[in-house]
Amino acid sequence: MMQMFSKLAAADHEQVIAFQNHATGLRGFLAIHDTTLGPAVGGTRIWNYASDADALDDALRLSRAMTYKNSLAELPAGGGKAVLIAHDGLDRIAAFEAYGAMIESLNGRFFAGRDVGITDADIAAIARNTQYMAKEPSPGLGDISEHTAIGIWHAMRACLEFAGINRPPRVAIQGVGSVGIHLARIVKREGGSLCVADIDAGRAERAAKELGARVLPVEEILFAEVDVLAPCALGGVISAANAARIRAKIVCGSANNMLTGMDAADALLRSVVIYAPDYLVNAGGVIRGTEFFLLGIQDSSESLARIYGRTIRVLEIARSRGVSPARVADELAEARLKRPKLFRDLYWGKR
């Protein structure tokens, strides 16, 4: 128990809920990192974790990243994340219905979206018992994954300009799932060339056939000689140990927590690789979801386009100070959390 509180205190988490429903096999954690700016908004993922401790660590790490993402995107929302533990005894539909009831009991303190492993059937099951779930498809919402990819492209344009690359880019995309394939299509449409990799070989081959991309082995894609490396799968792929091997001029992708830590960010800086902080550039999906579901905004194109300017700002500040853009992004996100919080007063005043 003391270890859990130490973990919460380390990143100043407000609340962690360990939930279970024996009848359905539901087990997991909901981490609410910070609600200074508004209700905690973040995804729900399901994964076959090696241990409960690994699941808790994932929830804590990802919820903090959501706070920073929402803050830097200037959204009236805090950060949270839910992780469900996949196992053979899980009655999936019933478990997700029970999870939805748990979210509803929080009365809007947490608003859930889709994350790794969540299917349309899972979302439907969750939504049967809560109004606080981003339901896809919803008329007028569009494809959240595509919105994420559009935001990444705006950030990528900023990085290319910052690097002085004024030709169609060569881009390596690690993971051509829901976000990666949309990003690949945008790059192709803008005249860029592609190489792709995916743990699902069939998915990589389909992307290659559609877009004329070159397929690389998963273990080689990080070190391809390209202008931009775009990690678009699971995180933790760039470490201080392998950063020196990266030959791309820019790292800009959708993967959450793609770096193993700040030491990896500093290693990229030493290797003269421009790093676009992940939670800055992959905010397109949460921007669209928050604006649509919480604010009633029908067109988020201008908000997505502002990722370009934010990226330029972070890169310029980092260059002027000689530090990693990851450090600058953290500082900017934390600074907004310290301002007077009118939205929080308005939001909780409705309870």
Q: What's the per-residue H, E or C state across the chain?
A: CHHHHHHHHHCCCCEEEEEEECCCCEEEEEEEEECCCCCEEEEEEEECCCCHHHHHHHHHHHHHHHHHHHHHCCCCCEEEEEEEECCCCCCHHHHHHHHHHHHHHCCCCEEEEECCCCCHHHHHHHHCCCCCECCCCCCCCCCHHHHHHHHHHHHHHHHHHHHCCCCCCEEEEECCCHHHHHHHHHHHHCCCEEEEECCCHHHHHHHHHHHCCEECCHHHHCCCCCCEEEECCCCCCECCCCHHHCCCCEECCCCCCCECCHHHHHHHHHCCCEECCHHHHCCHHHHHHHHHHCCCCCCCHHHHHHHHHHHHHHHHHHHHHCCCHHHHHHHHHHHHHCCCCHHHHHHHHCC
The confidence score (pLDDT) of residue 234 equals 82
Strand pairing class (228-231; 250-251): parallel
Asked whether 311 and 155 are in contact (CB, 8 A), the reply is: yes
Give the model's pLDDT for residue 190. Answer: 97
Query: Digits of tens for pLDDT over the chain (351 positions)?
Result: 556 667 666 668 999 999 999 999 999 999 999 999 999 999 999 999 999 999 999 999 999 999 999 999 999 999 999 999 999 999 999 999 999 999 999 999 999 999 889 999 999 999 999 999 998 778 999 999 999 999 999 999 999 999 999 999 999 999 999 999 999 999 999 999 999 999 999 999 999 999 999 999 998 999 999 999 999 998 899 999 999 999 999 999 999 889 999 999 999 999 999 999 999 999 999 999 999 999 999 999 999 999 999 999 999 999 999 999 999 999 999 988 886 444 444 333 333
- Our answer to whether residue 7 is catalytic in this structure is no
Neighbours of 41 (CB within 10 A): 29
CA–CA dist 163, 53 (Å, integer): 41
39: nearest Cα among 120, 129, 116, 134: 134
Cis amide linkage into residue 168, ω under 30° from 0: no
Give the chain's domains with CATH numbers. Answer: 2-68+77-127 (3.40.50.10860), 144-332 (3.40.50.720)
For residues 319 and 312, the answer to whether their CB atoms sit within 8 Å is no
Give every strand in the sheet of 228-231, ordered side by side.
Answer: 214-215, 193-197, 170-174, 228-231, 250-251, 274-275
Closest CA to 54 of 66, 45, 43: 45
What pLDDT does 342 receive? 43
Number of Cβ atoms within 10 Å of the Cβ of 323: 15
> Residues 98, 21: contact at Cβ < 8 Å?
yes
For residue 235, report the phi and psi dihedrals to the nearest 5 degrees: -85, -170
What pLDDT score was predicted for residue 4? 63
pTM: 0.89
CA gap 34, 36 in Å, rounded: 6
Choosing from 81, 188, 249, 341, the catalytic residue is 81
CA nearest to 198, candidates 223, 181, 182, 183: 181
pLDDT at 344: 43
Q: Rounded to whole angstroms, what are the CA distances from 292 to 80, 135, 142?
A: 18, 11, 10
Burial class (CB in 10 A: 0-12, 13-18, 19+), 316: middle
